[in-house]
Amino acid sequence: MKNDNNSLKNLQHSLEKLSGNLHVLETDVPVEKQMEYFRFSEVIRSNFYFSDEQVFDEQMKVLSSDELYSSPEIKYALAYLAISGSVKAYRAIEAYCEKFPDDWAAMSLLQAKITLESELSEEKQVFISTGLGGKGDLLRFYAFFKSNGRKTFSDYQRKLIEKEIPYFIRNYQGITEEIQIQDNYFTILFLIRIQVDIKTMLEEAVDECNQFGNFISKGFVITNVKMFSKEEIQNELKKRE
């Protein structure tokens, strides 16, 4: 997602139209892995009946037993139990996640929570899928900026970035999780409510810094899909020269 006001506005508009209880995955599971999980889950849902106590007990055993089970057996048990609507199953998945945290288990735990809440409440349950996840009602975003003319940041400029960028994010009720400053670019990882005008927030932060030397380019990149590698950042920055 580049510095494109329309893209951000479209995302915000889509989420604002959703009614119900919103759920955000709090870990950074790749979108492809999320889609793989939900496709697998739908196959289970469409082919099996959850009133079979024997099958349920067998899947519970896979997660709680000291016996060794194959990866496909564990993935099946996690997906099966997540849509069973059982509090007992939820607790078993939760315990498994604490011992063996991975992407599949994280997806299973979130789906188990959504399934339980949908049965206990009449409110519609909505899952928001992003590669970087979020926390509570905040979504996680990643952005990077380059220096004007690809010049090396001075120590003073680095201190300004470290101070002003988190300050503006905090003013919009967001949380800066990480800020990394390299020779001629910097990246930020932050949590923010989707209702916030993210583009305006970051532009204000850059403008504040630029009052002291106009050293940050106004062309920045934002994504909620993944964190970029140094090579990907350099390739993107070269395109923007």
Domain spans in the chain, listed from the N-terminal domain onward: 26-128, 134-239
How many C-beta atoms lie closer than 10 Å to residue 53's C-beta?
8
Three-state helix/strand/coil letters over the chain: CECCHHHHHHHHHHHHCCCCEEEECCCCCCHHHHHHHHHHHHHHHHHCCCCCHHHHHHHHHHHHCCCCCCHHHHHHHHHHHHCCCCHHHHHHHHHHHHHCCCHHHHHHHHHHHHHHHHHHCCCCEEEECCCCCEECCEEEEEEEEEEHHHCCCCHHHHHHHHHHHHHHHHHCCCEEEEEEECCCEEEEEEEEECCCCHHHHHHHHHHHHHCCCCCECCCCEEECCCCCCHHHHHHHHHHCC
pTM score, whole prediction: 0.67
Contacts of residue 226, defined as CB under 8 A and 6 or more positions apart, other chains included, come to: 28, 30, 131, 132, 142
Q: How far is Cα 140 from Cα 190, in angstroms, rounded to an integer?
A: 6
CA torsion through residues 152, 154, 159, 161, sign: negative
Which tens digits make up the pLDDT trace of 176-218?
Answer: 999 999 999 999 999 998 778 888 899 999 999 999 999 998 8
Q: Would you say 237 and 146 are in contact if contact means Cβ atoms under 8 Å apart?
A: yes
Query: Of 113-122, 142-151, 179-188, 202-211, which range is least confident?
Result: 113-122
Q: Which fold has domain 134-239?
A: Alpha-Beta Plaits (3.30.70)
Summarize pLDDT for 66-91 with one digit per residue, the tens.
Answer: 778 889 999 999 999 999 888 999 99
Rounded CA-CA distance 237/241 in Å is 7
CB 211 within 8 A of CB 160: no
CA–CA distance, 74 with 77 (Å, rounded to integer): 5
Cross-strand partners of 79: none
Beta bridge partners, 22, equal: 126
pLDDT score, position 1: 40
Q: Among the listed ranges 18-32, 59-73, 189-203, 214-228, which one has the minimum average pLDDT value?
A: 18-32
